[in-house]
Amino acid sequence: MYDGWKIILGLLVFVAFVTLPFTLSTGKEYVKADPKIDTPEIQKLPESERKCVESKEFMRKEHMKMLIDWRDTVVREGKTLYVNTEGKSFNMSLQNTCMQCHSNKSKFCDECHNYLAVKPYCWDCHIEPKEDKKEAGL
Amino acid sequence: MIIDRRKFLKILGVSAFIGIGGWSTFEVIGRGQIEAFAEKYRKVPEALQAKRWAMVIDLKKLDEKIMNECIKVCHKLHNVPDIPNPKEEIKWIWIDDFEHSFPGFEHEYMSHEIKEKPVLVLCNHCDNPACVRVCPTKATFKRKDGIVMMDMHRCIGCRFCMAACPFGARSFNWKDPRQYIKEENKEFPTRMKGVVEKCTFCYERIDRGLPPACVEVSQGAIIFGDLADPNSEVRKVLSENFSIRRKPALGTEPSVYYLL
């Protein structure tokens, strides 16, 4: 093999570079996203009404799709009521419905979004609820 | 295998039957999925309904105090920023003088009083809106009830609509508007840098059963109603009074009428 040492050196550098994210993160503590739903607004609700518009599993998986459907229905079709699988209806509004209960945006939204490195641009326009920064642990 | 005409038609008939009325069709309808889908989103029962919303502004009853009241309540309700630089200002409803609101109506010998008479102007919610035709993303569109709406989520800030609108009803956000909003209305969103905004005839109030905010504070000088309904108040007022519209020759068919 001509210039074998150059090729091998190059390969070594390449492998070291590609595995950099792994080697750099060894020994670091693994922080798992830990969203919180224990806001004072939710605590205040009676036990029977402490439910989201749909089940927890559904919301976890589908909330992004649901929010887009909500926004299109409200803005484009002028319909503002969402009737859930139990037949209960809700005003379709991120600012006036979701965030009324989930008033802890940093622990409810940002926790997972940061973990997954997704940056939804909701809050460029929609007004986020005021949070007590100390309480949120920031 | 030889298939004769008779056998071929038999196979065709059976497969068409299975295809059209097959099990999967029964399954879907049986579960009531189609009904459930239609029922999922609803209008609020008290929401105001019309075929073509329109406004009649009675300039005889309006003075500058009431006009400013209308502007104040609209801009506060919709988080419209108060930007001091006139080149970057954002307005949904504002005051202009007669001469510039109704070009073509003025003449050399008109009294100053009329020429400079303050006129309350806003988006005309045209029946044939130029802004909607030019929007490349359908961010601005005409609702079934005639309101020319903005979908801020879709606006890319190309400003074609601003060039198309002959009434200057649209404003562009040159910078983040939040720093210029003194007191935020927490029930309504703000806008972001790089989108165009304008009056929406208070769609969010109409969909909840309330008239536009400016109508409410105008002390009866602004009348709001359905042009398609011959018994509506707007139609009554228009049939009994002489009324004009802004720049009618352009053919955009404004839905905002003025009584002089």
Using alpha carbons, list the distances in angstroms from residue B39 to B42, B61, B249: 7, 45, 44
CATH of domain B53-259: 3.30.70.20
Judge whether residue B187 has pLDDT over 70. yes
Tell me the mean pLDDT in the region B96-102. Answer: 94
Chain B environment of A75 (Cβ under 8 Å): 149, 151, 153
Quick: pLDDT tens for B24-56. 665 665 555 555 555 789 999 999 999 999 999
Structure-block tokens of residue B115: 């020429």
pLDDT digits 0-9 by tens, A56-95: 999 999 999 999 999 999 999 999 999 998 889 999 999 9
Residue A26 is predicted with a pLDDT of 85
Domain boundaries, chain A: 30-124
First to last CA, chain B: 87
- The confidence band for B124, taking pLDDT boundaries of 50, 70 and 90, is very high
pLDDT of residue B21: 66
The domain spans of chain B are 5-39, 53-259
pLDDT digit string (tens) for B151-181?
999 999 999 999 999 999 999 999 999 999 9
- For residue B20, the model assigns a pLDDT of 73
Q: What is the pTM of this model?
A: 0.82
The partner residue sitting opposite A78, judged by closest CB among B79, B186, B203, is B203
Mean pLDDT, chain A, whole residue set: 90
Share of chain B above pLDDT 70, in %: 93
All residues of chain A having their beta carbon less than 8 Å from the beta carbon of residue B187 are 95-96
Mean pLDDT of chain B: 92
Say if the Cβ atoms of A80 and B208 lie within 8 Å: yes
Mean pLDDT confidence for B66-89: 96
Residue-level pLDDT at B31: 57
Nearest-CB residue to A124 (from B43, B192, B207): B192
Q: Provide DSSP, chain B.
A: -PPPHHHHHHHHHHHHHHHHH-HHHHHHHHTTHHHHHHHSEE--TT----SSEEEEEETTT--HHHHHHHHHHHHHHTT----SSGGG---SEEEEEHHHHSTTT--TT--HHHHT-EEEEE----SS-HHHHH-TT--EEE-TTS-EEE-TTT-----HHHHH-TT---EE-SS-GGGG-SS--TTS----TT-EE---TTHHHHTTT---HHHHHTTTSEEEEETT-TTSHHHHHHHHS-EE-SSGGG----SEEEE-
